[in-house]
Structure 1
Amino acid sequence: MNWFARRFADWVVAHRWLIIVGTLLLIVAAAMGMKRLTMSGDYRIFFKPDNPQLQSFDAMQKIYTKSDNVLLVLAPKDENVFTRKNLSALIELTDAAWKTPYSSRVDSVSNYQNSVADGDNLNVADLVSNPNSLTDEDLARIRNIAVHDPLLAKRLVAEDGRVTGINITLQLPGKNKVQEIEKVVKFVNSLHDQFELKHPDVKLYLNGAVMMNNAFLEATRNDMRHLVPYMMGILALVLMLTLRSAPAVGLIFFNIMLSIAAAMGIAGWYDVVLSAPVATAPLTILIMAIADGVHLLSHYGHGLRHGESRVEAMKESIRSSFAPMLFTNVTSALGYLTMNMSDVPPFNTLGNVVAVGIMIAFVITMTLIPVLMLILPAGKINSQEDSKVKWMEIYQEFFLRNRYKMLFGSVLFTIIVGSFVMNNKFDDSFHEYFDESTQFRQSTDFTLKNLTGVYLMDFSIEANEPGGINEPKFLQKTDEFAVWLRQQPEVLHVNTFTDIMKRLNKNMHADNPAEYKLPESRELAAQYLLTYELSLPYGLDLTNQINLDNSATKLTATLHAVHSTEMIALEERANKWLKDHGDGIIKSTGGTGAGLMFAHVGQENGKSMLQGEVIQIMQISVLIMLAIRSFKLGIVSMVPNITPALIAYGIWGMTVGQINMGVAMVGIISLGIVVDDTMHFLSKYLSARREMKRTPEDALRYAFDMAGIPMWISTLTLVCGFLVLASSHFAMNSDMGLVTAITITVAALTEAFMLPGLILLVDRGEKI
């Protein structure tokens, strides 16, 4: 490898203009693909087409009305929905909501189809009309109906009557989901502003699946719009303070821009769809490109300060950096490619784009950056032998005097903190993906606290024949299931067709409360249902609850603010109840819903990432042994490579304990980065031992001199970079950034405290 690296360095220096022209042409050709990049605001992008939960969800939507919706939550400041003024505002907003693009249905307390007996007839009408003409007794009656009706209470009106909601059901064409979502959001935002301006005493909150999709879109745009420039500014400052060379910092950032442009352009040529996770790809490529540039130019500066010419210093920098840098970039790329084991497509895409970007950054660092550095006027690089960094020499001697104390102290610390890893669990809550500063999160939190849940679990309860939903045994079993669900601690509300049938049976018996029960015959049930359906106005029929041939009905459980583990546990109990108590009368394929889909994919993603990390560790361990040609040091290197993630997850277990999809990625993402420090340190150590014939202690001194400062510079820049990512308003990205920053910090400390001691423990001075 040294022979190849030396020949490669000679070739690079001898063909400067060929490299400049050829590299820039290739990058421009690749970057042109960026105009083909598209963006998605559909949360379905987080699921593979063959995902069983997605398939169940889509099947449900084909049978019943689609569940894309916007929920308008009205909170009067006087905390009483049932006043003439507030009901008038509710009716006004309900009527306006019908004008929402792609709306197919609007449900509210005001247009709730209340059925009452009128002699031998069934009278079905809006619960509220002409509120200004209502008496106090009328208002009390309407309030009593609304807060006690099982189809309204805890769903469209709070039990205490303080808050109410308007649910807009949408039928998005799906031709251009982003434009369709933006069109709806633009309309409801305008509706929101106009309503609050006209009714300052009523606060309006926007919620629902479409608003969540829009929140994903905004998260993607905000991260791309703000995080990249913030990160570049902070990292430029860090590099100027550490390298103190404008040409070096300028070339590093030139590398960054070219690498990002080429990687994202190639993604465009492959028709990659941008999502919130994929939006972080430029940030990660940026961070890795900086690490490469710091190592190359630090070694170049070291040569200049030791009297070498610019050309010879650059050749030696390329030669000494080529093998460890190639290895670390390949392992980092492999780490990101392992993300293809994830069950979340955006993470597959993120891994592929970053892997390509990492290798492009390596090629540019090894070719274009050196020749540009030689063409530019000579600059000064102060990174190692300045008086401000003499502390590295002090640390070397301190370590050699206390090597075993530091080694065993590090091991003990790792064992103690690492033991808290077991406190972590794969858990998620998708509304918590967005931090509390976002409008969607604020609206969701208010809705959860004051009105209803945002997590729905739908069940398609199927009979054995067309018209079977009118069979008394079917109705009874369905009602028993609804009663059982209401008893579960996770469930806030259950919307079931059987409640409609009970009310109709009461209506048909002169509104006798004792007759609030299911019809006793199939004929009666069919007659009640037909009469009711004929009385319903356009847009408020029962197609959202009953299929076309009346052979199945949808039952919806609205849940509290539960986490994924609780949601999956409820689903399993519900499926078991249906299996044990269905008696062949009712059957169901199980629960479905957006929240449940995220719950399952989060669990599966965690497991697949754990498997991927094991595979990655095995791959990297074998590669390290082959690269350094030492079994003993290859085994030793595994410890500081595994330790950082172990400690980071231990700290997370002590403080948070909840691993979402972003945090689950950290082990795979960080391992390739962590190996960078290990390989550069081992490379310099072995170079001193094998080529310079130094003792183990002197070889360590040389490794600290050559790799120590670049390692800390790259660590500082990496940590700053990932901390910027941690400022994202999207939890998948922010948590991933924070835990990765912790991991990289621990990695640097491990390289300083643990790895040198392990090396001296196995290297007793014999040939290695």
Structure 2
Amino acid sequence: MFKLFTKGFWDVIARLILRNKIGILASIIIATILFSTQWKNMRFTYTEANLLPDDHDVNQVYNNFLDIFGEEGNLIVFGVKDSTLFTVEKLNAWNKLSETFKTFNEVETVVSIKDLQKLVKDTDNERFLLEPFIKDSITSMSQIDTLEQELFKQYPFYDNFLYNKETKTVRTAVYLKKDIVNTAARKDFVFDLLVPEIDAFEAKTGIDVRVSGMPYIRTLNAQNIVDEIGEFIAAALFVTSLIFFLFFRSFRATLISLVVVCLGVMWTFGIIGFLNYEITVLTALIPPLIIVIGIPNCIFLINKYQQEVKLHGNKVKSLQRVITKIGNATLMTNVTTASGFATFILTESQLLKEFGLVASLSILAIFILCLLIIPIIYTFLPYPKDRHLEHLNKRWIGGFVDWMERMVKQRRITIYISALLLLIASMIGINQIKISGSLIEDMSKEAQFFKDIRFFESEFNGIMPMEILVDTKRKKGVMKLSTLKRMNELEDLINEIPELSKPISVVSLVKYSKQAYYNGNPKYYQLPTSQENSFIMSYAKNSSAESNLLENFVDSTGQYARITTFMKDIGTDKMERIEEDLQAKINKLFPKEQYDITITGKALVFQKGTKYLIKNLVISLSLAILLISIFMAYMFRSFRMIVVSLIPNLLPLVITAGLMGYLGVPIKPSTILVFSIAFGISVDDTIHFLAKYRQELQSNHWKIRKSVYGALRETGVSMFYTSIVLFFGFSVFTISSFGGTVALGALVSATLLFAMLSNLLLLPSLLLSLERNIANKEVLKEPAINIIPDENDSDTNEINSSTEKNT
């Protein structure tokens, strides 16, 4: 009954499309215009990708820290490692550069060498005063010599923050206003103010300036994403249209396909704007993805049209069959592909939800556009010329099909052994896969800002902020000597960890206070004793200078303190070990009834988010397999057929995972998408093959071997065409400057190539080897959905006459 309904449904669809050509084309144009009005709502993200749900414990800890101390990712640094800096002219120019940034509205504060101040003892008033190292401009080399002596030998408080005393590298810290850090104003500041000023300084002095800091990195990284969207779309259009033309040898067919996929891209941007989503590193992939997925739809439809025209020469009859036969099949395959993406909607990551929703809606949209536009346009066009149909008789395609058939007939054992060996080798490779939680790993290694990151890692041990929040659970508990001593011991451990920079906290300030109390003698840069603490603290209480410095490290109530350190770009394993070491020390030093200590910061949040996404990968892939299995069960009414069909689609995923292990490609936010995307696409070939196989069984009176070979010959060419398009289409992502995008493109391409071979060799081999168990009328019951309808042209004459009238 459902089969009759499905057949009748597609007959009605064909009739509606071919009878209402002008109205449908006008509706598509209107819909495209409406979508284009939503483009204004598109915006590029100005925040890091938060991979965790808002209510996740790690996010709550981080947000609690931000509530107490404010945005911690507002620091931009620029530094110089050049001995000629310490000359009168160039040092004054450096100080002038730093002073210039203080005049900009976007800047909260600037800390440079000229801003450094000595904490000095005022004995008469029993207080500390701040006295600048440089009172005015530098006028002589003797002043520079004195400055170097004080900075690099006498005052360790500033060491590793604004300078490295070992290499004499100097840097300036620019703190942006916290309310612009995650807005478009940050981009304007970086490109319109920061970069031109630094370029002018470099041109004037000949000194190479390195720039870094999370706002700067994020701005340039986001700009790279914007620049690459256009490159991806252009590359995808060029590659897929070139392959399409090489297959069909028809400018007309190629142009039609380009029009369809370009409309699909316009609709995708409209969907992003309508949903008010930001363009992230993931959603930026969807427009070229739609081109890559849309072209195979065009191949199936145009190829079927040309086959039908060559068979009987009736154009309208051919278009009716394209819609009723290929329309149904492409609907099923597009639904399964969309399902692979839609599983991301069920995860708790907002980033993946948005990607999954936009991608799945866009895939369904490109299917609708293909089904409507291609048959309608061909009703207005003349018959294809003989040269346009030559590709249907290409000898090399016949040779490829003969090779597949020969392998399945004569080399099934070889196919099974090869599959088993690949499986074993892949399982070994999977054990070597690592997880990466790096914030910068996917960034372009050739970009100057990435080289600057490495520079600051080398000179100052990193730029990725990590924070330790100390809650003393009582007001003014931070300044108690017992608390300071515990914090000092924790900082000693941080200093021993080579991947972390020297920590900055109230402990350093208290040590500096003791040094100032003893007239700047560097050997007294240490925590005061119990006896010293009382009179040193009395000086501090009378000092406004001390209070100004203190507010950066302690909250207004004195209950909370922060220990700030910076982390190198390290792997997840190392980061976890560091966190474990710190947590073990914290548990030992800080009694839980007196203190609540939490470790947070952007680097840690990202690393935890990556781990969380790994769990979501398993969930989304499992859901994709489950949904598609249910879908195929409903189509074929055979549990055994589901098992057989999953094997050739899961094997390529295992092989790809093994390759990742051998090639050292880690699991990270970009590469975890590979498996669900590839599975959703590769299963399309299986559906096409099994649908044709079942039809062959019925027409061949359940002669299994004849049916398998018939299905292989019928579907092999289309599967080869579409797989080649998909392979080269996804390969365009390898032109990206983002390592993760490159890995995504290469891995999906490889997976789809393996999937094609698996579906053309392993799947028919399994059907032949298990013929008694799965290829009988009891197992292969009447399908719920007849994907490839039987030949029936009862409505063709009606459509033909109606269409000719409209034409």
Band of TM-score, shorter chain = over 0.9
Q: In structure 2, which of residues 675, 687, 710 is the aligned counterpart of residue 667 of structure 1?
A: 675
1:718 corresponding residue in structure 2: 726
1:89 counterpart = 2:93: yes
What residue in structure 1 maps to residue 656 of structure 2? 648
The one of 137, 148, 151 aligned to 1:145: 151
Contact 1:434 1:440 in 2 (8 A): no
Instruction: Establish whether residue 62 from structure 1 lines up as the match of residue 67 from structure 2.
Output: yes
1:476-487 aligned within 5 A? 476-487=485-496
In structure 1, give the amino acid aligned to 2:175.
T
Deviations 1:233-258 (A, max 9, x none): 12111110112222322222222122
Match of 2:538 in 1: 527
The answer (yes or no) to whether the contact 2:154–2:520 under 8 Å persists in 1 is no
| Residue in structure 1 matching 2:111, options 107, 110, 113 | 107
Cα distance in 2 between the residues matched to 1:382 and 1:85: 76
Shift in Å, 1:582: 0.6
Aligned to 1:37: 42
CA distance in 1, matches of 2:658, 2:682: 17
SS at match of 1:206: strand
1:708 is displaced (CA, Å) by 1.4
Which sits farther off after the overlay, 507-516 or 667-676?
507-516
- 1:92 aligned partner, one-letter code: K
Q: What residue in structure 1 maps to residue 133 of structure 2? A: 127
Native 8 Å contact 1:392 1:704 kept in 2:
no
2: CA distance, partners of 1:176 / 1:655: 36
Q: Which aligned pairs between 1:245-324 and structure 2 lie closer than 5 A?
A: 245-324=250-329
1:588 and 1:157 map into 2 onto residues whose CA distance is 33
**What's the CA shift for 1:288?**
1.4
* Mapped partners of 1:77, 1:509: distance in 2: 34
Q: Take 1:105 and 1:700, find their aligned partners in 2: how far apart are those partners?
A: 74
Match of 1:566 in 2: 574
- The structure-2 alpha-carbon separation of the partners of 1:114 and 1:515, relative to structure 1 and needing over 3 Å to count, comes to same
> Aligned to 1:558, what secondary structure does the other structure show?
strand
Letter paired with 2:103? K
Shift in alpha-carbon separation, 1:215–1:511, aligned structure 2, 3 A: closer
Tell me which moved more, 254-263 or 380-389. Answer: 380-389
- Asked if structure 2 preserves the Cα contact closer than 8 Å seen for 1:341 and 1:348, the reply is yes
1:599 counterpart = 2:604: no
Q: 1:82 to 1:725 in 2, by over 3 A?
A: same
* Counterpart in the other structure of 2:711: 703
Aligned residue type for 2:162: L
Q: Tell me which of 432, 437, 452 is aligned to 1:423.
A: 432
Paired letter, 2:323: I
The offset of 1:715, in angstroms, is 1.3
> Which residue does 1:445 correspond to in 2?
454
SS in structure 2 of the partner of residue 265 of structure 1 = helix
Q: Does structure 2 conserve the Cα–Cα contact (< 8 Å) formed by 1:47 and 1:601?
A: yes
Matched, 1:177 2:188: no
Q: Is the 8 A contact 2:297 2:370 kept in 1?
A: yes
* 1:140, distance to aligned residue in structure 2 (A): 6.0
TM-score by length of 1: 0.93
> Could you tell me how far apart the structure 2 residues matched to 1:41 and 1:187 are?
18
Cα distance in 1 between the residues matched to 2:373 and 2:586 = 65
Q: Report Cα offsets for 1:134-184 as digits up to 9, x if no partner.
A: 555862663463367544333322242342211111114249802343234
Deviations 1:717-736 (A, max 9, x none): 11212111122222332222
Could you tell me which residue of structure 2 aligns to residue 459 of structure 1?
A: 468
Match of 2:740 among 720, 723, 732: 732
Q: Which amino acid aligns with 1:587?
A: Y
Deviations 1:43-78 (A, max 9, x none): 165554334433333332332253243433332444
Worse-matched range after superposition: 423-432 or 662-671: 423-432
- Preserved contact between residue 73 and residue 215 of structure 2 (Cα < 8 Å): yes
Matches within 5 A, 1:130-279: 130=136, 132-134=138-140, 136=142, 139=145, 142-143=148-149, 145-146=151-152, 149-174=155-180, 177-200=183-206, 202-279=207-284
Change in CA separation of 1:535 and 1:494 when aligned onto 2, cut-off 3 Å: closer
Compute the RMSD of aligned alpha carbons.
Answer: 2.6
Q: Secondary structure at the match of 1:197?
A: helix
SS of residue in 2 equivalent to 1:297: helix
Q: Which moved more, 1:749-758 or 1:445-454?
A: 445-454
Q: Cα deviation per residue 1:406-434 (whole Å; 9 max; x = unaligned)? A: 23322322332243112113213111221
1:271 is paired with a residue of what secondary structure?
coil
Q: Determine if contact 1:685/1:699 at 8 Å carries over to the other structure.
A: yes
Shift of 1:476: 1.0
In 2, distance between residues paired with 1:137 and 1:352? 63
Choose which of 333, 337, 343 in structure 1 pairs with 2:342. Answer: 337
How many residue pairs get aligned? The number is: 763
Query: Structure 1 residues 372, 49: closer, same or farther in 2, change over 3 A?
Result: same
> How far apart are the structure 2 equivalents of 1:530 and 1:597?
37
Change (3 A) 1:161 1:516: same
Please say which of residues 281-290 and 586-595 is displaced more in the overlay.
Answer: 586-595
Decide whether aligned partners of structure 1 residues 533 and 64 sit closer, same or farther in structure 2, where only a CA change above 3 A counts: farther
Distance 1:496 1:89, change over 3 A: same
8 Å contact from structure 2 (residues 503, 563) kept in 1? yes
| CA deviation vs aligned residue, 1:311-339 (integer Å, no higher than 9, x gap) | 22222233332343222211111111111
Please tell me whether the aligned partners of residues 505 and 528 of structure 1 are also in contact (alpha carbons under 8 angstroms). Answer: no
Residue 359 in 1 paired to residue 364 in 2?
Answer: yes
Match of 1:614?
622
**2:440 alignment partner, SS class:** helix
Q: Deviations over 1:573-613 (max 9, x none)?
A: 32332233213586244111111111111110111111111
CA distance in 1, matches of 2:309, 2:239: 28
In 2, Cα distance between equivalents of 1:15 and 1:138: 84
Unaligned runs of at least 5 residues, structure 2:
781-807
Find the aligned partners of 2:716 and 2:607 in 1 and give their Cα distance.
43
* Aligned residue type for 1:433: D
CA distance change for structure 1 residues 240 and 701 in 2, over 3 Å: closer, same or farther? same
Q: Name the CA distance, whole Å, in 1 between partners of 2:398 and 2:550.
A: 78
Residues 547 and 553 of structure 1 are in contact (CA less than 8 Å); yes or no, is this contact kept in structure 2? yes
Shift of 1:111: 1.9
- Who is 1:752 aligned against? 760
Supply the distance in 1 between the matched residues of 2:220 and 2:58 (Cα, whole angstroms): 22
User: 3-state DSSP class of the match of 1:713?
Assistant: helix
- One of 391, 394, 405 as aligned partner of 2:414: 405
- Describe the superposition over 1:429-464 as per-residue Cα deviations: whole angstroms up to 9, x where unpaired: 111221112232122122212334111211122224
Partner of 1:550: 558
1:620 aligned counterpart, secondary structure: helix
Corresponding position: 1:327 with 2:332: yes
Give, in whole Å, the separation in 1 of the partners of 2:144 and 2:24: 84
Q: Greater shift after overlay, 424-433 or 338-347?
A: 338-347
Answer yes or no: is the 8 Å Cα contact 1:343–1:601 preserved in 2.
no
Compute the TM-score of the two structures, normalised by the length of structure 2. 0.89
- How far off is 1:19 after superposition? 2.9
Percent identity between matched residues is 19
- SS of residue in 2 equivalent to 1:433: coil
Contact 1:87 1:131 in 2 (8 A): no
Q: Check the 8 A contact 2:540/2:546 in 1, yes or no.
A: no
Segments of structure 1 that go 5 or more residues without pairing to the other structure are: none
> C-alpha distance in 2, partners of 1:63/1:27?
48
